[in-house]
Amino acid sequence: MASTTFLTLPSGRRMPQLGLGTWLTPDSLAPEAIKAAVDCGYRHIDCAYFYGNEGALGEGIEKVLKEGRVKREDLFIVSKLWNSFHAPEDVKPACLETLRLLRLDYLDLYLMHSPMGIKNVKGDLLPQKDGKVLLSDVDYVDTWKAMEKLVDEGLVKGIGVANFNKCQLERLLSVARIKPDVLQVERHIHQTQRELIACTKSLKMTLTGYSPLTSPKRPFPPGKLDPNNGMEDPVVKEIAKKHGKTPPQIMIRFNIQAGIATIPKSENPAHIKANSEVFDFCLTDDEVKKLESLHCGARAVAWDIVGMGDHKHYPFKPQES
């Protein structure tokens, strides 16, 4: 069974520490992935409109609810507002479409997928001209104010952000009427996010780490910040052998033991089950230090493709706010 451990959010609600990631899960396998996850104890499901599979995930969620495998109130469903819908007037329609696709009346958590707005072109989530995405200058603070209204209307229980840097997060907190519950960022052995973890803890926020396995199957062209496949790292393999665990389990435990949530992705029922078996052992302090020493600033998801790195709110520049 997956963990029954929870993290308490600033709103007072509790979020399961381990969740199922769904990026790149094919429609044909999504319903079975949801069933497999629920059956072995997952209650936190991480989705996003941009992933293009919310309809199939919704089919799976509806089925496990109808079959009585889990109650809706025991699930923690997360989705994300895509960059195309940052204009305040686009926020509610985008949320309603996600709710329709997921076949839900509300979301437990709705994240702004990134601080970078792009043009809203119907039917095109990455509209481009001459190979460059069409950027928007909508301020993420204005987007946030529209997201706060979703909480007021009961469409979402809580809101948060993803892929923000420390300066952007602090700026948002300085003006937010409803404080963000969660910051979701990439976090693994090659990108340990020490500063952001410390920052969110000081703000009593929760951090969720995505790509805990370093996303070796990411569909992007090779980039200068690409991490090596963590599952092949000799340090990870050595620690796994010592504990009688697999390299993925070591990397998931690395995030869990840091006191953050994490959302390993798989559509394979056996892998989904194995990824949940990380609560019957602990890494030693020395092992954690060895894993932390593998940090090199790598990013599996650098958000710099098709000109996104030119956005004025591109988050991975220290001076950006």
Nearest to 301 by CA among 129, 134, 80: 80
Residue owning tokens 């195309």: 84
The rounded distance, in Å, linking the Cα atoms of 191 and 255 is 11
Distances (CA, A) of 268 to 28, 37, 227, 265, 317: 12, 10, 23, 9, 36
Q: Which of 42, 51, 210, 314 is catalytic?
A: 51
Q: What phi and psi values does residue 35 have, to the nearest 5 degrees?
A: -60, -45
The rounded distance, in Å, linking the Cα atoms of 106 and 99 is 7
The rounded distance, in Å, linking the Cα atoms of 229 and 190 is 9
Distances (CA, A) of 247 to 21, 70, 149, 268: 18, 30, 43, 16
The beta strand positions in 57-212, using DSSP E, are: 76-81, 109-112, 128-129, 132-133, 159-162, 182-186, 206-210
Task: Tell me the torsion sign for CA atoms 78, 312, 86, 136.
Answer: negative
Annotate 41-68 with DSSP letters as a single string: T--EEE--GGGS-HHHHHHHHHHHHHTT
Residue owning tokens 């020490």: 194
Nearest to 82 by CA among 113, 116, 128, 127: 113
Instruction: Check if 51 is active-site.
Output: yes
The helix (H) or strand (E) run that includes residue 14 is strand 14-16
The rounded distance, in Å, linking the Cα atoms of 150 and 207 is 21
Among all residues, which ones are annotated catalytic? 51
